[in-house]
Chain A
């Protein structure tokens, strides 16, 4: 069995032993999926194949990709206007480093996935929204786009058909909120990246008011193998009910931090112990954020769970981006919470009061507790305000909700640490 059959996203990188250049990509069967889709399949067929594969969005929300594509009005837009396809490559979720890897090492896989996606929804204009700090990935992607254009895989009359696609890179000016789908579209339009009201959702009215699909980098990378190898193969890759592979990552005090493409549903313990090499000597694992800074803490009782969307949701957290951040026993949960809330307070776009005012206030309260100025009752205030700020619907987008997830779970699982800070009037970790 070839590596690409078990690792459709990264197998070619391993085979080549580094960056997959255009010639390497084509030699490994690259662009055959796009050719097949564009020359032999109808857009509706492509969408139904992605639906049947049960590909779920890899940006964190896990929404079924084929279903999302199906929301776009089929065929030519009735008013003759354009549709847009956008790749969310604004990888800013703290602790997440998978898209950088995919774009840098296998950029043609992303380009090919976007060609297929654009064909499926009838878009002739596509953008990759890329982090401003991602200079190396940008070079790799720009080269890949230029190579694909030179071969006629992008541009006019792709594969000799009447399908055209112009693919551009937008380098972001910064800010985490750009990862929010509608804020990203405002940024793409050159505006302040403030989230938009929903509905309408982007498939109905997105970039410049036109039907738009936004998908994550890893999501697009799953599309070419689904077209080439079929839905049965794809569904069988997963261990649990979710399908395909997932790029899992581990950061923190393990022996071998990194990324691994594994069957979706691999257990947390296997990822940490087998792939990340276990904890460094002298450090014990206390808890982890399973998929980025905005996901709830999981603790010892969860470590044998499968890392998939449903299982982690049932445990009260989210798989998110699948790149976990480990908290070892040398880390103070109060101070780590302060670090997390500092990030979310700083990155609030400032539009909604609970988020703009509430998050800095929570950060300050956590700093007070950490530095020994905590008072009895402070934890009740944190609990209460976590509810006010975090409840979906109290703010325009899910930034504040995401901010509160690690806080509420830290208060639940590490409560004795918070209480000890207040009763002792100091941080026991210092």
Chain B
């Protein structure tokens, strides 16, 4: 990435709060680049996703190339390089939930929200994604909505569950 493609004025895209949080992480690490994942997650926490503009600004702040940072960002499934809805719904598709009927549940969630995996509702409220084992296998099937773990999910409860996130 040439210097010309990372103009300095893109740095102010990050808020003072974001920069402060990222610098706090850097202070505990041996070098600036090591904070790459933390920085991406911090910006995503504030903005919902990591836009190209954000990516360029973070790369500049960490003193690394935007191409390298994008290689990192796109490796990790919890870092979103596309806009997502206000609430992200992640449905477990791993083996314990599978045994407890997760495939049918996923179908029912798709019909309920009118979405396929990877899509966002037209009103921008929900994005639907699959997720691997959420570590609550004794309470399968499970899903996670934003930071809330939902356990023992039944298709008959979907209306009530999603109503909490409108």
Which positions in A face B, CB cutoff 8 Å?
Answer: 91-97, 99-100, 131-136, 166, 168, 170-176, 187-193, 208, 249-253, 257-259, 289, 293, 323, 325-328, 331, 336, 339-340, 342-343, 346-347, 349
Which positions in B face A, CB cutoff 8 Å?
Answer: 28-30, 33-38, 40-41, 71-72, 75-79, 90, 93-96, 98-100, 131-140, 144, 147, 149
Residues of B near A323 (CB, < 8 A) are: 137
CB contact between A252 and one of B29, B90, B100 (< 8 Å): that residue = B100
A251 in contact with B94 given A133-B144, A136-B149, A189-B34 (CB within 8 Å) = no
A96 in contact with B71 given A327-B99, A343-B132 (CB within 8 Å) = no
- How distant is the Cα of A415 from the Cα of B95 in the complex, in angstroms? 20
**Within the complex, what minimum Cβ distance (angstroms) separates A316 from chain B?**
19
Asked if residues B95 and A289 are in contact (CB atoms below 8 Å), the reply is yes
7 CB < 8 A contacts A-B: A95-B94, A95-B96, A96-B135, A132-B78, A189-B34, A193-B76, A339-B98
- How distant is the Cα of A331 from the Cα of B78 in the complex, in angstroms? 30
**Within the complex, what minimum Cβ distance (angstroms) separates B165 from chain A?**
16
Residues of A near B33 (CB, < 8 A) are: 189-190
Residues of B near A95 (CB, < 8 A) are: 94-96, 133, 137
- How distant is the Cα of A32 from the Cα of B72 in the complex, in angstroms? 42
CB contact between A173 and one of B41, B95, B135, B140 (< 8 Å): that residue = B41
Contacts across chains A and B counted by CB atoms under 8 Å = 134
Which B residue sits closest to A173, measured CB to CB? B76
A253 in contact with B99 given A132-B78, A173-B40 (CB within 8 Å) = yes
Residues of A near B133 (CB, < 8 A) are: 92-96, 293
Asked if residues A99 and B99 are in contact (CB atoms below 8 Å), the reply is no
**Within the complex, what minimum Cβ distance (angstroms) separates B17 from chain A?**
18
- How distant is the Cα of A192 from the Cα of B99 in the complex, in angstroms? 32
Residues of A near B41 (CB, < 8 A) are: 132, 171, 173
A94 in contact with B78 given A192-B72, A258-B138 (CB within 8 Å) = no
Residues of A near B138 (CB, < 8 A) are: 97, 249-251, 257-259
**Within the complex, what minimum Cβ distance (angstroms) separates B87 from chain A?**
14
Most buried by A among B28, B33, B40, B75: B75
A100 in contact with B136 given A172-B78, A175-B77, A192-B71 (CB within 8 Å) = yes
**Within the complex, what minimum Cβ distance (angstroms) separates B32 from chain A?**
9
Which B residue sits closest to A338, measured CB to CB? B98
- How distant is the Cα of A188 from the Cα of B34 in the complex, in angstroms? 7
Beyond A136-B149, A173-B37, A252-B99, 15 extra complex contacts between A and B, CB < 8 Å: A95-B137, A189-B33, A190-B36, A190-B38, A193-B75, A249-B137, A258-B138, A293-B95, A323-B137, A325-B99, A336-B95, A336-B99, A343-B93, A347-B132, A349-B75
CB contact between A168 and one of B28, B30, B144 (< 8 Å): that residue = B28
- How distant is the Cα of A285 from the Cα of B16 in the complex, in angstroms? 57
- How distant is the Cα of A173 from the Cα of B28 in the complex, in angstroms? 18
Residues of A near B71 (CB, < 8 A) are: 192
Residues of B near A250 (CB, < 8 A) are: 138
- How distant is the Cα of A190 from the Cα of B133 in the complex, in angstroms? 23
Most buried by A among B33, B132, B134: B132
A257 in contact with B137 given A94-B94, A189-B34 (CB within 8 Å) = yes
- How distant is the Cα of A83 from the Cα of B150 in the complex, in angstroms? 39
- How distant is the Cα of A323 from the Cα of B136 in the complex, in angstroms? 11
Asked if residues B93 and A192 are in contact (CB atoms below 8 Å), the reply is no
- How distant is the Cα of A326 from the Cα of B137 in the complex, in angstroms? 11
Residues of A near B136 (CB, < 8 A) are: 97, 100
- How distant is the Cα of A191 from the Cα of B38 in the complex, in angstroms? 11
Most buried by B among A173, A249, A323: A173
* Closest CB pairs A-B (n = 7): A173-B76, A251-B137, A190-B36, A94-B94, A174-B78, A257-B138, A94-B133
Asked if residues B99 and A131 are in contact (CB atoms below 8 Å), the reply is no
